[in-house]
Amino acid sequence: MSLNLASTVTESAARTPEVAAVRLGEEELTYARLDELSARLATMLLERGLDPGDRVGVMLPNVLEFPVAYYAVLRAGGVVVPMNVLLKQREIAFYLGDSGAKMLLAWHGFAEDARSGAAEAGTDLIEVGTDFTAGLADHEPTTALAATEPEDTAVILYTSGTTGKPKGAELTHFNLSRNADIASRTTCQVKAGDVVLGSLPLFHSFGQTVSMNASLRVGATLSLLPKFDPGDALATMQRDGVTNFYGVPTMFGALLHHPGREEFDTSALRTCLTGGAAMPVEVLRGFEGAFECIVLEGYGLSETSPVASSNHPGMERKAGSIGTPLEEVEMKVVDEDDNEVAQGEVGEIVIRGHNIMKGYWQRPDATAEAMRGGWFHSGDMARVDEEGYFFIVDRKKDMIIRGGYNVYPREVEEILYEHPKIREAAVLGVPHDQWGEEIGAAVVLHEGEELAPEEVSAYVKEQIAAYKYPRLVWFLDELPKGPTGKILKREIERPAAPAT
Protein backbone atom coordinates (compact mmCIF):
# COMPACT_ATOMS: atom_id res chain seq x y z
CA MET A 1 0.00 0.00 0.00
CA SER A 2 1.53 3.32 -1.04
CA LEU A 3 1.80 6.27 1.32
CA ASN A 4 2.93 9.79 0.49
CA LEU A 5 3.28 12.46 3.18
CA ALA A 6 2.02 15.03 0.67
CA SER A 7 -1.46 13.54 1.19
CA THR A 8 -1.44 15.76 4.29
CA VAL A 9 -2.37 18.62 1.94
CA THR A 10 -4.36 16.85 -0.75
CA GLU A 11 -6.77 15.24 1.71
CA SER A 12 -7.39 18.47 3.64
CA ALA A 13 -7.83 20.35 0.36
CA ALA A 14 -10.52 17.86 -0.67
CA ARG A 15 -12.36 18.38 2.64
CA THR A 16 -11.99 22.13 3.23
CA PRO A 17 -10.64 23.79 0.06
CA GLU A 18 -11.49 27.39 1.04
CA VAL A 19 -10.10 27.30 4.59
CA ALA A 20 -6.79 29.13 5.12
CA ALA A 21 -4.02 26.55 5.37
CA VAL A 22 -1.12 28.95 6.01
CA ARG A 23 -1.06 32.64 6.75
CA LEU A 24 1.70 35.23 6.92
CA GLY A 25 0.56 38.66 8.00
CA GLU A 26 -2.26 39.68 5.67
CA GLU A 27 -1.40 37.03 3.05
CA GLU A 28 -2.69 33.49 3.09
CA LEU A 29 -2.97 30.33 1.04
CA THR A 30 -6.17 28.30 1.20
CA TYR A 31 -5.87 24.53 1.16
CA ALA A 32 -6.97 24.53 -2.48
CA ARG A 33 -4.31 27.09 -3.40
CA LEU A 34 -1.56 25.30 -1.43
CA ASP A 35 -2.53 22.05 -3.17
CA GLU A 36 -2.46 23.74 -6.59
CA LEU A 37 0.86 25.54 -6.10
CA SER A 38 2.63 22.46 -4.76
CA ALA A 39 1.28 20.50 -7.76
CA ARG A 40 2.61 23.13 -10.17
CA LEU A 41 6.01 23.23 -8.48
CA ALA A 42 6.13 19.43 -8.59
CA THR A 43 5.76 19.74 -12.38
CA MET A 44 8.64 22.24 -12.52
CA LEU A 45 10.87 19.90 -10.53
CA LEU A 46 10.01 16.93 -12.74
CA GLU A 47 10.67 19.00 -15.86
CA ARG A 48 14.10 19.89 -14.46
CA GLY A 49 14.96 16.22 -14.15
CA LEU A 50 13.86 15.17 -10.67
CA ASP A 51 13.70 11.37 -10.46
CA PRO A 52 12.09 9.25 -7.71
CA GLY A 53 14.27 9.29 -4.60
CA ASP A 54 16.31 12.33 -5.65
CA ARG A 55 17.17 14.66 -2.77
CA VAL A 56 16.17 18.33 -2.86
CA GLY A 57 17.46 20.89 -0.40
CA VAL A 58 14.80 23.27 0.96
CA MET A 59 16.46 26.34 2.48
CA LEU A 60 13.53 28.63 3.23
CA PRO A 61 12.42 30.62 6.29
CA ASN A 62 8.90 30.51 7.70
CA VAL A 63 7.20 31.91 4.60
CA LEU A 64 4.22 30.72 2.56
CA GLU A 65 6.61 29.18 0.04
CA PHE A 66 7.99 26.68 2.58
CA PRO A 67 5.00 24.29 2.61
CA VAL A 68 4.62 24.77 -1.15
CA ALA A 69 8.20 23.57 -1.67
CA TYR A 70 8.08 20.84 0.98
CA TYR A 71 4.97 19.12 -0.33
CA ALA A 72 5.93 19.69 -3.98
CA VAL A 73 9.15 17.70 -3.53
CA LEU A 74 7.23 14.90 -1.80
CA ARG A 75 4.41 14.71 -4.34
CA ALA A 76 7.00 14.51 -7.13
CA GLY A 77 8.62 11.52 -5.40
CA GLY A 78 11.67 13.38 -4.11
CA VAL A 79 13.26 13.51 -0.66
CA VAL A 80 13.27 16.80 1.25
CA VAL A 81 16.54 17.93 2.86
CA PRO A 82 15.51 20.85 5.11
CA MET A 83 18.27 23.40 5.73
CA ASN A 84 18.62 26.32 8.11
CA VAL A 85 18.61 29.60 6.20
CA LEU A 86 21.47 30.84 8.41
CA LEU A 87 23.92 28.24 7.10
CA LYS A 88 27.07 29.50 5.41
CA GLN A 89 28.74 28.32 2.21
CA ARG A 90 30.86 25.56 3.74
CA GLU A 91 27.88 24.14 5.64
CA ILE A 92 25.56 24.35 2.64
CA ALA A 93 28.11 22.62 0.42
CA PHE A 94 28.46 19.81 2.98
CA TYR A 95 24.71 19.21 3.36
CA LEU A 96 24.18 19.21 -0.40
CA GLY A 97 27.24 17.13 -1.14
CA ASP A 98 26.66 14.57 1.58
CA SER A 99 23.01 14.06 0.63
CA GLY A 100 23.79 14.13 -3.09
CA ALA A 101 21.04 16.72 -3.55
CA LYS A 102 20.16 17.30 -7.19
CA MET A 103 18.48 20.66 -6.52
CA LEU A 104 18.31 23.38 -3.89
CA LEU A 105 15.29 25.64 -3.37
CA ALA A 106 16.74 28.66 -1.55
CA TRP A 107 15.21 31.93 -0.35
CA HIS A 108 16.42 34.96 -2.29
CA GLY A 109 17.44 36.79 0.89
CA PHE A 110 20.15 34.19 1.53
CA ALA A 111 21.07 33.58 -2.09
CA GLU A 112 24.77 34.51 -1.92
CA ASP A 113 25.84 31.67 0.38
CA ALA A 114 23.31 29.33 -1.22
CA ARG A 115 24.67 30.10 -4.68
CA SER A 116 28.30 29.49 -3.77
CA GLY A 117 27.49 26.41 -1.66
CA ALA A 118 25.39 24.88 -4.43
CA ALA A 119 28.11 25.59 -6.98
CA GLU A 120 30.70 23.86 -4.80
CA ALA A 121 28.44 20.81 -4.44
CA GLY A 122 27.38 20.76 -8.10
CA THR A 123 23.71 21.24 -7.17
CA ASP A 124 21.11 22.97 -9.35
CA LEU A 125 19.99 26.14 -7.53
CA ILE A 126 16.41 27.42 -7.77
CA GLU A 127 16.06 30.82 -6.13
CA VAL A 128 12.72 31.45 -4.43
CA GLY A 129 11.56 35.07 -4.25
CA THR A 130 8.36 36.88 -3.38
CA ASP A 131 7.09 36.47 -6.97
CA PHE A 132 7.99 32.77 -7.12
CA THR A 133 4.45 31.41 -6.86
CA ALA A 134 3.24 33.73 -9.64
CA GLY A 135 5.79 32.17 -11.96
CA LEU A 136 4.41 28.70 -11.30
CA ALA A 137 1.36 29.54 -13.43
CA ASP A 138 3.42 28.51 -16.47
CA HIS A 139 3.49 24.90 -15.24
CA GLU A 140 0.51 22.56 -15.39
CA PRO A 141 -0.23 20.92 -12.02
CA THR A 142 0.89 17.36 -11.37
CA THR A 143 -2.19 16.31 -9.42
CA ALA A 144 -1.27 12.68 -8.81
CA LEU A 145 1.03 11.90 -5.92
CA ALA A 146 4.12 9.81 -6.60
CA ALA A 147 3.52 6.20 -5.55
CA THR A 148 5.91 6.11 -2.61
CA GLU A 149 5.91 3.29 -0.08
CA PRO A 150 5.51 3.78 3.69
CA GLU A 151 9.15 2.85 4.28
CA ASP A 152 10.53 5.11 1.55
CA THR A 153 12.56 8.05 2.80
CA ALA A 154 10.60 11.31 2.80
CA VAL A 155 12.93 13.67 4.65
CA ILE A 156 16.62 13.68 5.61
CA LEU A 157 17.16 15.81 8.70
CA TYR A 158 20.77 16.59 9.48
CA THR A 159 21.71 16.38 13.11
CA SER A 160 25.17 17.15 14.43
CA GLY A 161 26.90 14.65 16.65
CA THR A 162 29.42 15.29 19.39
CA THR A 163 32.03 13.78 17.09
CA GLY A 164 32.52 13.97 13.36
CA LYS A 165 30.40 15.55 10.66
CA PRO A 166 26.60 16.03 10.84
CA LYS A 167 24.58 12.90 10.09
CA GLY A 168 21.39 12.76 8.05
CA ALA A 169 18.52 11.02 9.83
CA GLU A 170 16.32 9.30 7.22
CA LEU A 171 12.66 9.69 8.17
CA THR A 172 10.10 7.77 6.18
CA HIS A 173 6.66 8.74 4.93
CA PHE A 174 5.25 6.43 7.63
CA ASN A 175 7.44 7.87 10.41
CA LEU A 176 6.33 11.43 9.73
CA SER A 177 2.69 10.73 8.85
CA ARG A 178 2.10 8.58 11.91
CA ASN A 179 3.93 10.92 14.29
CA ALA A 180 1.92 13.89 13.04
CA ASP A 181 -1.34 11.93 13.27
CA ILE A 182 -0.80 10.77 16.84
CA ALA A 183 0.60 14.11 18.01
CA SER A 184 -2.33 16.01 16.51
CA ARG A 185 -4.89 13.80 18.28
CA THR A 186 -3.19 13.44 21.64
CA THR A 187 -0.52 15.93 22.68
CA CYS A 188 -1.52 18.86 20.45
CA GLN A 189 -5.28 18.32 20.55
CA VAL A 190 -5.49 20.38 17.36
CA LYS A 191 -8.57 20.24 15.13
CA ALA A 192 -10.20 21.89 12.15
CA GLY A 193 -10.89 25.55 12.87
CA ASP A 194 -7.92 25.95 15.22
CA VAL A 195 -5.15 28.46 14.55
CA VAL A 196 -1.57 27.42 15.31
CA LEU A 197 1.20 29.97 15.76
CA GLY A 198 4.05 28.88 13.47
CA SER A 199 6.96 30.42 15.35
CA LEU A 200 9.16 27.32 15.32
CA PRO A 201 11.41 27.11 12.24
CA LEU A 202 9.85 24.74 9.72
CA PHE A 203 13.26 23.44 8.67
CA HIS A 204 13.50 21.91 12.17
CA SER A 205 11.82 18.60 13.06
CA PHE A 206 9.68 20.14 15.85
CA GLY A 207 8.29 22.81 13.53
CA GLN A 208 7.80 20.40 10.63
CA THR A 209 5.89 17.67 12.45
CA VAL A 210 4.09 19.46 15.26
CA SER A 211 3.46 22.89 13.72
CA MET A 212 3.05 22.09 10.02
CA ASN A 213 2.20 18.44 9.34
CA ALA A 214 0.01 17.94 12.41
CA SER A 215 -1.91 21.16 11.82
CA LEU A 216 -2.44 20.78 8.07
CA ARG A 217 -3.55 17.17 8.28
CA VAL A 218 -6.58 18.19 10.42
CA GLY A 219 -7.50 21.35 8.50
CA ALA A 220 -6.23 23.92 10.99
CA THR A 221 -4.61 27.22 10.00
CA LEU A 222 -0.86 27.72 10.49
CA SER A 223 -0.06 31.39 11.13
CA LEU A 224 3.61 31.92 10.40
CA LEU A 225 6.25 34.12 12.00
CA PRO A 226 9.45 34.31 9.89
CA LYS A 227 11.42 35.29 13.00
CA PHE A 228 10.27 35.02 16.59
CA ASP A 229 9.69 38.31 18.33
CA PRO A 230 7.47 38.36 21.44
CA GLY A 231 5.67 41.54 20.42
CA ASP A 232 4.96 40.20 16.93
CA ALA A 233 3.86 36.87 18.41
CA LEU A 234 1.40 38.53 20.78
CA ALA A 235 0.03 40.72 17.98
CA THR A 236 -0.44 37.64 15.78
CA MET A 237 -2.16 35.77 18.59
CA GLN A 238 -4.64 38.63 18.93
CA ARG A 239 -5.18 39.22 15.20
CA ASP A 240 -5.64 35.57 14.20
CA GLY A 241 -7.20 34.17 17.39
CA VAL A 242 -4.37 31.70 17.97
CA THR A 243 -5.52 28.60 19.86
CA ASN A 244 -2.28 26.57 19.89
CA PHE A 245 1.28 27.71 20.50
CA TYR A 246 4.36 25.49 20.30
CA GLY A 247 7.83 26.75 21.19
CA VAL A 248 11.06 26.37 23.11
CA PRO A 249 11.27 27.57 26.73
CA THR A 250 12.96 30.87 25.86
CA MET A 251 9.94 31.80 23.72
CA PHE A 252 7.59 31.20 26.63
CA GLY A 253 9.79 33.32 28.89
CA ALA A 254 9.91 36.15 26.35
CA LEU A 255 6.12 36.19 26.00
CA LEU A 256 5.56 36.00 29.74
CA HIS A 257 7.91 38.89 30.50
CA HIS A 258 6.98 41.13 27.57
CA PRO A 259 6.16 44.54 29.07
CA GLY A 260 3.07 45.03 26.90
CA ARG A 261 1.68 41.53 27.30
CA GLU A 262 -1.55 42.54 29.04
CA GLU A 263 -2.46 44.89 26.18
CA PHE A 264 -3.08 41.94 23.84
CA ASP A 265 -6.15 39.71 23.71
CA THR A 266 -4.84 36.15 23.84
CA SER A 267 -8.02 34.64 25.26
CA ALA A 268 -8.33 32.11 22.41
CA LEU A 269 -5.07 30.40 23.48
CA ARG A 270 -5.80 26.89 24.73
CA THR A 271 -2.93 24.42 24.34
CA CYS A 272 0.83 25.02 24.35
CA LEU A 273 3.70 22.61 23.85
CA THR A 274 7.33 23.10 24.81
CA GLY A 275 10.44 21.11 23.99
CA GLY A 276 14.05 21.50 22.90
CA ALA A 277 15.34 22.24 26.41
CA ALA A 278 14.21 21.96 30.00
CA MET A 279 11.35 24.31 30.86
CA PRO A 280 11.92 26.17 34.15
CA VAL A 281 9.04 25.32 36.48
CA GLU A 282 8.47 28.97 37.39
CA VAL A 283 8.13 29.94 33.73
CA LEU A 284 5.65 27.11 33.06
CA ARG A 285 3.47 28.01 36.03
CA GLY A 286 3.73 31.74 35.38
CA PHE A 287 2.77 31.30 31.71
CA GLU A 288 -0.24 29.13 32.53
CA GLY A 289 -1.44 31.67 35.07
CA ALA A 290 -0.94 34.70 32.83
CA PHE A 291 -2.39 33.18 29.64
CA GLU A 292 -4.98 30.86 31.22
CA CYS A 293 -3.93 27.87 29.12
CA ILE A 294 -2.12 24.59 29.64
CA VAL A 295 1.56 24.07 28.83
CA LEU A 296 2.69 20.53 28.03
CA GLU A 297 6.38 19.67 28.13
CA GLY A 298 7.57 17.00 25.72
CA TYR A 299 10.70 15.34 24.38
CA GLY A 300 12.04 14.15 21.08
CA LEU A 301 14.91 14.17 18.63
CA SER A 302 15.32 14.47 14.89
CA GLU A 303 15.79 10.70 14.83
CA THR A 304 12.37 10.20 16.46
CA SER A 305 10.31 12.24 13.95
CA PRO A 306 10.55 14.00 16.56
CA VAL A 307 7.92 13.41 19.27
CA ALA A 308 8.78 10.56 21.62
CA SER A 309 7.10 11.56 24.89
CA SER A 310 4.99 14.29 26.38
CA ASN A 311 2.78 15.32 29.22
CA HIS A 312 -0.78 14.88 27.98
CA PRO A 313 -4.01 16.87 28.33
CA GLY A 314 -6.43 15.27 30.74
CA MET A 315 -3.66 13.44 32.59
CA GLU A 316 -1.51 14.47 35.51
CA ARG A 317 1.18 16.89 34.37
CA LYS A 318 4.42 16.88 36.31
CA ALA A 319 6.52 20.01 36.17
CA GLY A 320 10.07 19.23 35.13
CA SER A 321 9.06 15.95 33.50
CA ILE A 322 9.03 15.12 29.79
CA GLY A 323 5.96 13.00 30.50
CA THR A 324 5.22 9.53 29.24
CA PRO A 325 5.80 7.89 25.85
CA LEU A 326 3.60 8.83 22.92
CA GLU A 327 1.05 6.30 21.66
CA GLU A 328 2.81 3.39 19.88
CA VAL A 329 6.18 4.43 21.34
CA GLU A 330 8.21 2.56 23.98
CA MET A 331 10.87 4.18 26.14
CA LYS A 332 13.08 2.83 28.89
CA VAL A 333 16.24 3.78 30.76
CA VAL A 334 19.28 1.49 30.51
CA ASP A 335 22.82 1.18 31.82
CA GLU A 336 26.01 0.95 29.74
CA ASP A 337 25.29 -2.72 29.03
CA ASP A 338 21.76 -1.93 27.82
CA ASN A 339 20.15 -3.48 30.89
CA GLU A 340 17.11 -1.61 32.20
CA VAL A 341 17.93 0.19 35.43
CA ALA A 342 15.81 0.17 38.56
CA GLN A 343 13.07 2.75 39.00
CA GLY A 344 14.51 6.08 40.06
CA GLU A 345 18.04 5.27 38.90
CA VAL A 346 19.71 7.28 36.14
CA GLY A 347 20.48 5.77 32.77
CA GLU A 348 20.29 6.44 29.04
CA ILE A 349 16.92 6.84 27.33
CA VAL A 350 16.35 4.28 24.57
CA ILE A 351 13.31 4.37 22.28
CA ARG A 352 11.50 2.22 19.75
CA GLY A 353 8.24 2.62 17.86
CA HIS A 354 6.59 4.07 14.77
CA ASN A 355 8.69 7.23 15.02
CA ILE A 356 12.22 5.81 14.82
CA MET A 357 14.25 6.77 11.78
CA LYS A 358 15.17 4.37 9.01
CA GLY A 359 18.84 5.06 9.76
CA TYR A 360 21.58 7.60 9.16
CA TRP A 361 22.03 8.41 5.48
CA GLN A 362 24.93 6.33 4.10
CA ARG A 363 26.36 5.73 7.59
CA PRO A 364 25.72 2.06 8.40
CA ASP A 365 28.20 1.99 11.29
CA ALA A 366 26.62 4.99 12.99
CA THR A 367 23.17 3.46 12.41
CA ALA A 368 24.20 0.14 13.93
CA GLU A 369 25.69 1.88 16.96
CA ALA A 370 22.61 4.05 17.55
CA MET A 371 20.16 1.19 16.95
CA ARG A 372 21.90 -1.62 18.83
CA GLY A 373 19.50 -4.17 20.24
CA GLY A 374 16.64 -2.73 18.17
CA TRP A 375 16.34 0.40 20.33
CA PHE A 376 17.40 3.91 19.37
CA HIS A 377 19.97 5.19 21.88
CA SER A 378 19.29 8.87 22.54
CA GLY A 379 22.43 9.78 24.49
CA ASP A 380 20.20 11.58 27.02
CA MET A 381 20.32 10.58 30.65
CA ALA A 382 17.11 10.30 32.66
CA ARG A 383 15.24 8.61 35.48
CA VAL A 384 11.69 7.26 35.62
CA ASP A 385 9.35 7.64 38.60
CA GLU A 386 6.84 5.12 39.97
CA GLU A 387 4.12 6.32 37.57
CA GLY A 388 6.25 6.02 34.45
CA TYR A 389 7.06 9.73 34.03
CA PHE A 390 10.51 10.46 32.62
CA PHE A 391 12.79 13.17 34.00
CA ILE A 392 15.92 14.18 32.06
CA VAL A 393 18.88 14.77 34.33
CA ASP A 394 21.62 15.45 31.78
CA ARG A 395 22.00 16.09 28.08
CA LYS A 396 24.19 14.64 25.41
CA LYS A 397 27.77 15.20 26.34
CA ASP A 398 28.93 18.74 25.71
CA MET A 399 25.91 19.81 23.68
CA ILE A 400 24.87 23.44 24.13
CA ILE A 401 21.28 24.61 23.62
CA ARG A 402 21.13 28.30 22.75
CA GLY A 403 17.60 29.62 22.36
CA GLY A 404 16.33 26.18 21.43
CA TYR A 405 19.02 25.53 18.80
CA ASN A 406 21.46 22.70 19.35
CA VAL A 407 25.11 23.69 19.07
CA TYR A 408 27.81 21.04 19.15
CA PRO A 409 31.14 22.42 20.36
CA ARG A 410 33.37 20.33 18.11
CA GLU A 411 31.99 21.97 14.96
CA VAL A 412 32.87 25.42 16.32
CA GLU A 413 36.21 24.26 17.70
CA GLU A 414 37.28 22.95 14.30
CA ILE A 415 36.87 26.43 12.84
CA LEU A 416 38.73 28.04 15.74
CA TYR A 417 41.62 25.65 15.23
CA GLU A 418 41.86 26.82 11.61
CA HIS A 419 42.81 30.33 12.76
CA PRO A 420 46.58 30.73 12.36
CA LYS A 421 46.96 32.53 15.71
CA ILE A 422 45.00 30.02 17.80
CA ARG A 423 46.79 27.08 19.39
CA GLU A 424 44.00 25.54 21.41
CA ALA A 425 40.32 26.18 21.98
CA ALA A 426 37.45 24.77 23.96
CA VAL A 427 33.83 25.71 23.30
CA LEU A 428 31.33 25.39 26.10
CA GLY A 429 27.99 26.68 27.30
CA VAL A 430 27.75 29.62 29.68
CA PRO A 431 24.45 30.12 31.56
CA HIS A 432 22.45 33.02 30.12
CA ASP A 433 19.16 34.52 31.32
CA GLN A 434 17.69 35.08 27.86
CA TRP A 435 19.10 32.26 25.72
CA GLY A 436 19.42 29.53 28.35
CA GLU A 437 23.04 29.10 27.35
CA GLU A 438 25.46 31.32 25.46
CA ILE A 439 28.29 30.01 23.29
CA GLY A 440 31.62 30.57 25.02
CA ALA A 441 35.16 29.90 23.78
CA ALA A 442 38.25 29.55 25.94
CA VAL A 443 41.20 30.23 23.64
CA VAL A 444 44.97 29.73 23.90
CA LEU A 445 47.06 31.69 21.38
CA HIS A 446 50.36 30.75 19.87
CA GLU A 447 53.27 32.36 21.68
CA GLY A 448 53.73 36.01 20.75
CA GLU A 449 50.37 36.33 19.00
CA GLU A 450 47.59 38.75 19.89
CA LEU A 451 43.86 38.73 19.15
CA ALA A 452 40.88 40.62 20.50
CA PRO A 453 37.80 38.63 21.59
CA GLU A 454 35.66 40.32 18.95
CA GLU A 455 38.12 39.27 16.23
CA VAL A 456 37.68 35.64 17.24
CA SER A 457 33.89 35.97 17.21
CA ALA A 458 33.93 37.65 13.81
CA TYR A 459 36.23 34.98 12.35
CA VAL A 460 33.86 32.18 13.31
CA LYS A 461 30.73 34.13 12.39
CA GLU A 462 31.90 34.42 8.77
CA GLN A 463 31.96 30.64 8.38
CA ILE A 464 29.07 29.27 10.39
CA ALA A 465 25.39 29.87 11.16
CA ALA A 466 24.83 32.95 13.31
CA TYR A 467 23.44 31.07 16.31
CA LYS A 468 26.61 28.97 16.58
CA TYR A 469 29.44 31.47 16.83
CA PRO A 470 30.88 32.35 20.28
CA ARG A 471 29.69 35.67 21.65
CA LEU A 472 31.83 35.20 24.73
CA VAL A 473 35.58 34.71 24.19
CA TRP A 474 38.30 34.69 26.82
CA PHE A 475 42.01 33.85 26.70
CA LEU A 476 44.00 31.42 28.84
CA ASP A 477 47.67 30.52 29.01
CA GLU A 478 46.79 26.82 29.02
CA LEU A 479 43.66 24.68 28.96
CA PRO A 480 43.33 22.16 31.82
CA LYS A 481 44.10 18.62 30.74
CA GLY A 482 43.90 15.13 32.14
CA PRO A 483 46.69 12.54 32.22
CA THR A 484 46.09 11.53 28.61
CA GLY A 485 46.18 15.13 27.38
CA LYS A 486 42.42 15.38 26.98
CA ILE A 487 41.07 18.86 27.62
CA LEU A 488 38.99 18.90 30.80
CA LYS A 489 36.17 21.30 30.03
CA ARG A 490 34.62 20.87 33.45
CA GLU A 491 37.69 22.51 35.00
CA ILE A 492 37.57 25.62 32.79
CA GLU A 493 36.28 28.61 34.71
CA ARG A 494 33.50 30.33 32.80
CA PRO A 495 33.07 34.10 33.00
CA ALA A 496 29.56 35.44 33.45
CA ALA A 497 27.65 35.96 30.21
CA PRO A 498 26.52 39.51 29.40
CA ALA A 499 22.81 40.20 29.83
CA THR A 500 22.18 40.56 26.08
- pLDDT at residue 385 tops 90: yes
pLDDT digits (tens, 9 = 90+) for 403-441: 888 787 878 888 998 899 998 899 999 999 888 899 999
Domains located in the chain, CATH noted: 7-382 (3.40.50.12780), 400-491 (3.30.300.30)
Strands (E), 208-346: 221-224, 244-247, 271-274, 294-300, 307-310, 324-325, 329-334
Give the three-class secondary structure for 458: helix
pLDDT digits (tens, 9 = 90+) for 37-54: 999 999 999 999 999 999
**Residue 243's closest CA among 188, 290, 194, 199?**
194
Q: In this structure, are strands 79-82 and 422-432 parallel, antiparallel, or unpaired?
A: unpaired
pLDDT digits (tens, 9 = 90+) for 283-322: 888 999 999 999 999 999 999 999 999 999 888 988 889 9
**pLDDT band at residue 485 under the 50/70/90 scheme:** low
Q: Which of 151-160, 341-350, 396-405, 407-416 has the lowest mean pLDDT?
A: 396-405
Would you state the pLDDT for residue 293? 96
pLDDT digits (tens, 9 = 90+) for 314-345: 889 888 899 999 999 999 999 989 999 999 99
Residue 440 and residue 497 in contact, taking contact as beta carbons nearer than 8 Å: yes
Would you state the pLDDT for residue 162? 45
Q: CA-CA distances (angstroms) from residue 118 to 46, 106, 182, 192? A: 19, 10, 37, 39
